[in-house]
């Protein structure tokens, strides 16, 4: 069994709840990623923010991104996977929740990020196609 921790990107960079949306956007640009975890004051995962959240929910609404906090865009309890959970469990979770990226936690600690692309690099073409199809359903 291959575990999430074997394919994830680690360490995961996160933005703090009090950071601005502009800080999150700059970090996404620097890291070349489309999603960042949001960590609370206790360094526990408080949510996530995506490039889409920034464009559709902040920029399009005309908010001042340099003074708007990422906490305003944390979307409820984030969908996560445990570091020791299998890749098959990660795939089921991605498909069930229609997400392409999962924060990987060990206990309450954020230890990495597992993306659809990480799994695709591991699986053969047919399995990768099934993964993408399952995540891309309405």
The 10s digit of each residue's pLDDT in 14-73 is: 999 999 999 999 999 999 988 999 988 777 888 899 998 899 888 888 889 899 999 887
Residue 109: band (very low, low, confident or very high) from pLDDT cuts 50, 70, 90: confident
pTM: 0.81
Structure tokens at 108: 């309450």
- Is-contact 5 112, C-beta < 8 A? yes
Question: What ranges in the chain are assigned the alpha helix state H?
Answer: 4-7, 21-31, 51-52, 87-97, 116-122, 125-135
Q: Which residues pair with 113 in a beta bridge?
A: 9, 103
Domains with residue ranges and CATH for the chain: 4-135 (3.10.580.10)
- Sort 25 into a burial class: Cβ within 10 Å, 0-12 / 13-18 / 19+: buried
For residue range 87-101, list pLDDT tens digits in order: 889 999 998 998 889
- Is-contact 97 113, C-beta < 8 A? no
């Amino acid at each position: 069994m291959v575990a999430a921790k074997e394919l994830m990107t680690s360490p995961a960079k996160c933005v703090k709840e009090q950071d601005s949306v502009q800080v999150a956007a700059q970090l996404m640009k620097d890291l070349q990623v489309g999603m960042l975890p949001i960590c609370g004051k206790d360094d526990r995962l408080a949510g996530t923010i995506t490039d889409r959240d920034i464009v559709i929910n902040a920029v399009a609404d005309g908010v001042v991104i340099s003074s708007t906090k990422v906490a305003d865009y944390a979307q409820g309890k984030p969908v996560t996977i445990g570091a020791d959970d299998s890749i098959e469990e990660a795939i089921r979770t991605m498909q069930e929740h229609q997400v392409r990226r999962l924060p990987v936690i060990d206990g309450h600690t954020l230890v990495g990020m597992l993306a659809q692309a990480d799994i695709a690099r591991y699986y053969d073409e047919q399995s990768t196609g099934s993964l993408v199809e399952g995540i891309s359903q309405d």
